[in-house]
Amino acid sequence: MEQRSGSQDGTFELYYRKGWAYLVVRPPLARGRPVYPEQIENRMKILRIPRVSGRRIREVIEEATAEPVALVEWPEGRRLAARVEVEIAEDEMSAWVTLEAPHKGAGTPTVEDIDDELNQCGVIFGIDRQAVQRLAVQQAYGVRTLVAEGDHPIAGTGNRVYYHFNTNRGKPYLEMDFGRINLKELNFIDNREAGDLLAALLPPIEARDGRTVTGRVIAAERDTRPVELNGGANTRLNPERTELYATCDGNVRISARKVIVEPVVKVKNVNYETGNIRFDGSVVVEGSIADGFVIEASGDIQVGKGVGKATLKAGGNILLKTGINGNGAGQIECDGDLFARYVESCSVTCRGHLLVEEAIMHSHLRVWKHCVLNGRRSEFIAGDIIVGGTLWCKKLGNFNEAPTRVAIGVVPKLLLTYRSTRHELDEKQDQLDQTDAKLEQLEKAIHDGNNDQRVLQAREQLRATAGSLQNEINTLRRRVPQLREQLKASRKSLLVVEDTLFKGVVLTFGKLEYRVPDNGVRKTIFHAGEYEIQESGYDYHNRPELDFEYDEAEDAPRV
């Protein structure tokens, strides 16, 4: 039957909510037909809602308020209800809600439903009311929504120091995800002029306790130790001792926890025109360094072009924007980090990290922290290295089975002491054998009747020498096992080979040794186990993380 214009039949809804069946009746408009009790009763049978009196149904129809009316208790209707899933983070600092759509015959979740579930799960703090309301209104089913966040504690501190210069310049690996380092963009030198503000003392921060979404209080750390500005060479404090200024032009950096400004020497090339450079500050060479020349600096050394058979010693970092080919005579020593495009045929002592773009070849390296090759080639070929932290490269060794020795996880100084002690023991034993051989000859000569005074005197001297050598040998024999016991590799130190590990490589982690098999090894990670070197596969998408920050007070590096 067609409805007349402007007329509208009455409607009703039956749904479950919180253990009850609710009925909503909307009245007809104009000459529309009303809702009949039989319609409601039939729907109740389909949904298996407990029966109520016909009188009660007729009362609700007559009132037709369009508002929900609790009709009858219906515990079984819970199977139709929407689900409100609450997820609380492990640290209890955030909570999420995911709604699952209701079945036919149940009402849509309301703000009250979400609040009730949050309360039952213990989420009582930091609730985002707008997020809860949006979730209920939009009915975003299956969407994980953040609805509560806790307050993180704010640590209380005394005065703080704000540095007006980059204290981590030249260290891109602190932020990078093993992307290639562009050495041309690095610059260790941060020149400032006399009178520039270098650092300022900021007011203290008041501690504020935090609170989790479950209402648990997190006590804030309170560090009220006094902090002072530490000015070093070529700096001055204002009368209030709250600001630190440069007193000369130069490179600003932190040394021994003090801000210093060191003079900077800039030259185009180091050759016979400049001579050797020994400078209490930083040195910048825009060009190259000729063979046989020496640069010694208490600060950083930065070289724009090639380095050959030269000697570089720095109290800070060394940056070689191309690299070094020492032809067997080049030497590098630095107390900080060393950056280079390549390192070939030279000796390196680096008490920080060694980061190389392309290759290390035929060199002898002592690295206190990590050695990372992260360019397109990333090859380590021939030579030997002692690295206290982790060695990371793509290829280690080569097809020609070039002898390559790698010692990982032990402080270089300790391993070198152990090696030199063993070498000294062998030398002393050789000397004792030679002395004993000479003694045997003299004893035979004396036994044959040669009692010349010089022969007798030589015998006594050789006996004294042999006795002294034997004492030294006994001391060294006790020392060698003691040092060997200390050769325990850090369990966090790794050898990471992204591509190929070739035959000819000998790998040691402390006292543990591994020799690469004939067919080599592909994509692998090695680390020290309790009794042997452990191996696992390398997965580019699940790469290990390296910690480039070390506690300088520790003897052994951390990874």
Q: What is the pLDDT of residue 182?
A: 58
Buried b (16+ CB within 10 A) or exposed e, 87-102: ebeeebbbbbbbbeeb
pLDDT of the residue at 553: 32
The answer to whether position 6 is within a domain reads: no
- Burial of 532-541, coded b for 16+ CB within 10 Å and e otherwise, reads ebeeeeeeee
Q: What Å distances lie between residue 384 and 99, 345, 511, 514, CA to CA?
A: 61, 11, 16, 15
Closest CA to 258 of 167, 361, 149, 350: 167
In the DSSP assignment, the letter for residue 534 is E
Whether residues 139 and 70 share a domain: the answer is no
Residue 283 lies in a domain: yes
Tally of domains within the chain: 5
Query: Are 385 and 504 in the same domain?
Result: yes
What are the residues whose beta carbons fall under 8 Å from the beta carbon of 226, sequence distance 6 or more? 158, 159
pLDDT in the model for residue 421 = 93
Q: What is the pLDDT of residue 338?
A: 95
553 domain residue, yes or no: no
Nearest to 395 by CA among 507, 502, 543, 539: 502
Task: Output the CA–CA distances (angstroms, integers) from residue 211 to 88, 126, 147, 214, in the order listed.
Answer: 14, 9, 15, 8
Query: Which pairs count as long-range contacts for 35-41, CB under 8 Å and 24+ apart, including other chains?
Result: 35/10, 35/11, 35/61, 35/64, 36/61, 37/61, 39/12, 40/12, 40/14
Q: What pLDDT score was predicted for residue 187?
A: 61
Which of 238, 260, 282 marks a domain boundary?
260
How many other C-beta atoms lie within 10 A of the C-beta of residue 273? 9
Assess whether 369 and 278 both reside in one domain.
Answer: yes
In a domain, 3, yes or no: no
| Order of all β-strands in the sheet with 145-149 | 83-88, 94-100, 145-149
Residue 115 makes CB contacts below 8 A (sequence gap 6+) with 132
Residue 481 and residue 378 in one domain: no
Give the CATH number of the domain where residue 474 resides.
Answer: 1.20.58
242 and 303 assigned to the same domain: no
Verify that 274 and 354 share a domain, yes or no: yes
How confident is the prediction along the chain (559 residues), in pLDDT tens digits per residue?
Answer: 445 556 788 888 888 777 888 898 998 888 888 888 888 888 888 888 888 888 888 888 888 888 888 888 888 877 777 788 899 999 999 999 998 887 776 777 888 888 888 998 999 999 999 999 998 888 888 888 999 999 999 888 777 889 998 887 655 554 444 555 555 556 667 788 899 999 999 888 888 899 999 999 999 887 777 778 888 989 999 998 899 999 988 888 888 889 999 888 888 999 988 889 998 888 999 999 999 999 999 989 999 998 999 999 999 999 999 999 999 999 999 999 999 999 999 999 999 999 998 999 999 999 999 999 988 889 999 999 999 999 999 999 999 999 999 999 998 999 989 989 999 999 999 999 999 999 888 888 887 777 788 888 888 899 999 999 999 999 999 999 888 888 888 888 999 999 999 999 999 998 899 999 999 999 999 999 888 899 998 988 888 888 776 443 344 433 2
Q: Are residues 397 and 538 in the same domain?
A: yes
Q: Are residues 293 and 378 in the same domain?
A: yes
- d(C-alpha 504, C-alpha 410), whole Å: 21
Q: Do residues 515 and 448 both lie within one domain? A: no
Within a domain: 558: no
Q: Which amino acid is at 267?
A: V
In a domain, 332, yes or no: yes
Kindly state whether residues 324 and 337 are assigned to the same domain.
yes
pLDDT given for residue 176 in this prediction: 46
* Boundary of a domain, candidates 468, 485, 502: 485
The conformational region for residue 312 under phi > 0 = left, psi -120 to 50 = alpha, else beta, is: beta
For 474, the domain range is 416-485
The verdict on 207 and 331 lying in the same domain is no
So what's the pLDDT on residue 550? 47
Q: Are 415 and 487 in contact (CB under 8 A)?
A: yes
The pLDDT tens digits for 184-215 are 556 667 788 899 999 999 888 888 899 999 99
Q: Is residue 458 part of a domain?
A: yes
Cβ within 8 Å of residue 516, ≥6 positions away? 397, 501, 502, 503, 504, 505, 506, 507
The DSSP line for 18-29 is TTEEEEEEE--B
* pTM listed for this prediction: 0.59
Quote the pLDDT of residue 60: 86
Written as six digits, the tokens of 451 are: 């009692």
Residue at which a domain ends, from 107, 133, 149: 149
- 349 and 451 part of one domain: no
Q: Is residue 549 part of a domain?
A: no
Provide CB contacts within 8 A for 461, sequence distance 6+. Answer: none
